[in-house]
Amino acid sequence: MHRTKIRVAEDALDANATIARANRDDFDRHGVGVVNLMSAPGAGKTTLLERSIEALEGVRIGVLEGDVQGTIDADRIAGHHIPVTQLNTDPGFGGECHLDANMVRSAVPALALDDIDLLVIENVGNLVCPAEFRVGEDARAMVTSITEGEDKPLKYPLMFRTCELVVVNKIDLLPHLDFDLDRFLANLDAVNPGVRRLLVSAKTGEGIEPWVEWLAAIPARAAVTTAA
């Protein structure tokens, strides 16, 4: 019984990986670098993206907004006059709490791949299953906010382990919170030793330059992949 369940889960992830590869091929063919941006609900992904759009120079960015329902975040991003596509998991994908490769596949025809260099996929806010599904990205990053507490890396290790960059957001609130930054960073290193981390305030803009530089370098990865 257990073995059957495990096999079904493995088959589902194999199928996901195949579709993710097809997405990646489409992105590479258009020379578009792709970031899968993940976080818990309310960590500040959309605010960080709004700041990033304003700060990016010489890189044409587009956003694929993943949400269970509604267009609240997509409407905010669209206000910055860049291509944005909404992908809702409800209706259509059973209200899933994450994006998978097949959902992203369904949105590919709607993406302005000829008009962008960088696609940021804002995943559904959730620290669990988004980490399990590749969607065709070149890089994975996550946003964690200090309002979530120091223990999150220990409670959701896969999410913190699967990302190459961890943005620690809302540092403007440090003086007001009972948040032990050193303890958080020690917890982060316990699950993903030495992972790159950036302390930022998307609200004030403090510390976001290295993040914007990291984003701006992603399209070059697609080009490298294309050439290989």
Residues that bind Mg ion (CB under 5 A): 45-46, 73
Number of residues engaging Zn ion in binding (CB under 5 A): 3
45 or 152: whose CB is closer to Mg ion? Answer: 45
State the angle between helix axes of 209-216 and 45-55 in degrees (0 to 180), rounded to the nearest 10: 80
Residue 223 interaction partner, one of Zn ion, Mg ion, none, beta carbon < 5-8 Å per kind: none
19 or 103: whose CB is closer to Mg ion? Answer: 103
E strands in 45-96? 61-67, 84-88
Nearest approach, Cβ of residue 96 and Zn ion (Å): 5
> Do the Cβ atoms of 144 and 167 come closer than 8 Å?
yes
Q: Does 30 bind Zn ion (CB under 5 A)?
A: no
Bridge partners for 122 per DSSP:
37, 65
Amino acid identity, position 198:
L
Q: Does 97 bind Zn ion (CB under 5 A)?
A: yes
Q: Does 129 bind Zn ion (CB under 5 A)?
A: yes
Nearest approach, Cβ of residue 170 and Mg ion (Å): 14
Sign, CA dihedral 182-186-130-1, equals: negative
Residue 137 interaction partner, one of Mg ion, Zn ion, none, beta carbon < 5-8 Å per kind: none
Amino acid identity, position 6:
I
In the complex, the residues that contact Zn ion under the rule CB under 5 A are 97-98, 129
